[in-house]
Structure 1
Amino acid sequence: MPSQDQVPAGSPAGTAADGTYLRGRMCDVLDFAVRHIPRLHSYEKHWRGKQDPVVSMNDKIVVEAALLALTCHRVSHAEPRIAAAVHALAEVLLPHARSARNAEMLARLPQSAASIGTSHLLLDRIGYPDARYDALHTAAIAATHPCLPERLPYRYMEQQWLASLAPGGTGSYGVEAPPGSVLYANQTAVEMHPNDVYSLTHAVMFGTDFGRRTVDPRVSTEAVLATLDSCLALQLGNENLDLIGELLFSAAMLRPGTTCAYTRAGWDLLTGVWERFGYLPSPQFSTPEYEELAFGARAAYSFQHTYHTMFVAGILCAVLYDALDTPPRPHAHAAPDDVAADAALALAAREYQLDVLTRQLGQLTAAGGPLTPTAEAATRYLKLQRAALRGVPSRPAPQAR
Structure 2
Amino acid sequence: MLLHATAGVCTDPGIVESVAAIGSMLSDQARSQPALLRAALHPSLALGGAVSHILLSALGNPDDRADQLFRTAASSAGSARRELPPYGLLEKLWISEIWGNKVPDDEWDRVLAASCLAGTPDLVGGSREDAYAVTHALMYVTDFGARRRAMPRPNPELMSDIEALLAITLERQDYDLVGELLMTWPFLGVQWSTPALFAFRLLTRVEDHVGLLPGGTTDAQTLRALSGERRRAYAIGTAYHTAFAMGMLCAASLRSDREPSSDAPVFVGGDTGAEPPARIQGDEEPVEVVLGDLTDAARDALSPFLLDLAVARDIRNRAYGELARRLARARSAGEPASPLQMQAVGLLDRLPMAVNISTPHTEVVSATSQPE
Shorter-chain TM-score category? 0.7 to 0.9
3-state SS in 2 of match to 1:114: helix
| Aligned pairs (5 A) from 1:11-90 | 67-76=1-10, 78-90=11-23
The one of 370, 375, 386 aligned to 2:336: 370
Q: Structure 2: which amino acid aligns with 1:354?
A: Y
Q: Distance in 2 between matches of 1:75 and 1:296?
A: 32
Q: Distance in 2 between matches of 1:307 and 1:369?
A: 40
Match of 2:301 in 1: 335
In the alignment, is the contact (CA less than 8 A) between 2:112 and 2:152 conserved in 1?
A: no
Alpha carbons 1:125, 1:165 under 8 Å: kept? yes
Show the counterpart of 2:164. Answer: 230
Question: What whole-Å deviation, never above 9, does each CA across 1:305-345 have from its counterpart, x for those lacking one?
Answer: 111101111111111101436898x9xxx821211110111
Deviation of 1:74 (Å): 0.4
Which position in structure 2 is the counterpart of 1:345?
311
SS at match of 2:9: coil
Q: Assess, with a 3 A threshold, how the Cα gap between structure 1 residues 91 and 173 changes in structure 2: closer, same or farther.
A: farther
Q: 1-side partners of 2:184 and 2:329: how far apart?
A: 31
Structure 1 residues not aligned, in runs of 5+: 1-66
- Give the 5 Å matches for 1:347-362: 347-362=313-328
| Within-5 A mapping of 1:123-134 | 123-134=56-67
> 2:59 matched to 1:122?
no
In structure 1, the partner of 2:136 is: 202
- TM-score with structure 2 setting the length: 0.78
1:252 aligns with 2:186: yes
CA distance in 1, matches of 2:172, 2:106: 34
Structure 1 166/355 Cα, relative in aligned 2: closer, same or farther at 3 Å? Answer: same
Residues 39, 73 of structure 2: 8 Å contact kept: yes
> Using a 3 Å threshold, how does the CA distance of structure 1 residues 98 and 396 change in structure 2: closer, same or farther?
closer
Distance 1:265 1:189, change over 3 A: farther
The match for 2:350 among 378, 384, 388 is: 384
The change in CA–CA distance for 1:208 and 1:175 in structure 2 (over 3 A counts) is farther
Residues 1:149 and 2:82 aligned together: yes
1:162 and 2:95 are equivalent in the alignment? yes
1:258-337 maps to which residues of 2 (within 5 A)? 258-286=191-219, 299-324=232-257, 335-337=301-303
Please give the secondary structure, in 1, of the residue aligned with 2:60: coil
Alpha-carbon distance in 2 for matches of 1:221, 1:325? 16
> Would the alpha carbon gap of residues 111 and 299 (structure 1) be closer, same or farther in structure 2, given more than 3 Å must change?
farther
Q: Measure, in 1, the Cα distance between the counterparts of 2:190 and 2:164.
A: 19
Please list the CA deviations of residues 251-295 of structure 1 after superposition, one character each: whole Å capped at 9, or x if unmatched.
321x213321221121011111122222111112235777999x9
Name the counterpart of 1:106. 39
Contact 1:174 1:208 in 2 (8 A): no
Secondary structure of 1:143 counterpart: coil
Q: Aligned-pair distance for 1:299?
A: 4.4
Match for 1:368: what amino acid? G
**Percent sequence identity over matched residues?**
27
- Distance, in Å, in 1 between the alignment partners of 2:139 and 2:356 is 43
Q: Conserved in 2, the CA contact under 8 Å of 1:228 and 1:251?
A: no
Listed one character per residue, the Cα deviations across residues 205-224 of structure 1 (whole Å, up to 9, x for unaligned) are 11111112223443332222
Point out the more displaced range, 386-395 or 303-312. Answer: 386-395
Tell me if the contact between 1:241 and 1:270 (Cα under 8 Å) persists in the aligned partners: yes
**Structure 2, unaligned stretches of length 5 or more?**
265-299, 368-372
RMSD: 3.1
SS at match of 1:115: helix
SS at structure 1 position matched to 2:83: coil
Superposed displacement of residue 146, structure 1:
5.1
Counterpart residue identity of residue 119, structure 1: S
Residues 1:93 and 2:33 are matched in the alignment: no
Distance in 1 between residues matched to 2:122 and 2:155, nearest whole Å: 15
Query: CA contact under 8 A between 1:173 and 1:213: conserved in structure 2?
Result: no
Give matches, 1:153-192, under 5 Å: 153-169=86-102, 175-176=108-109, 177-187=111-121, 189-192=123-126
Q: Which residue of 1 aligns with 2:268?
A: none
Q: Return closer, same or farther for 1:100/1:75 CA change in 2, 3 Å cut-off.
A: same
Match of 2:254, SS state, is helix
Greater relative contact order: 1 or 2 (C-alpha under 8 angstroms, separation 6 or more)? Answer: 1
Separation in 2 of the partners of 1:170 and 1:336?
Answer: 41
Residues 164, 171 of structure 1: 8 Å contact kept: no
Alpha-carbon distance in 2 for matches of 1:292, 1:273 = 17
Count of residues paired in the alignment:
327
C-alpha contact 2:191 2:258 (8 A) present in aligned 1: no
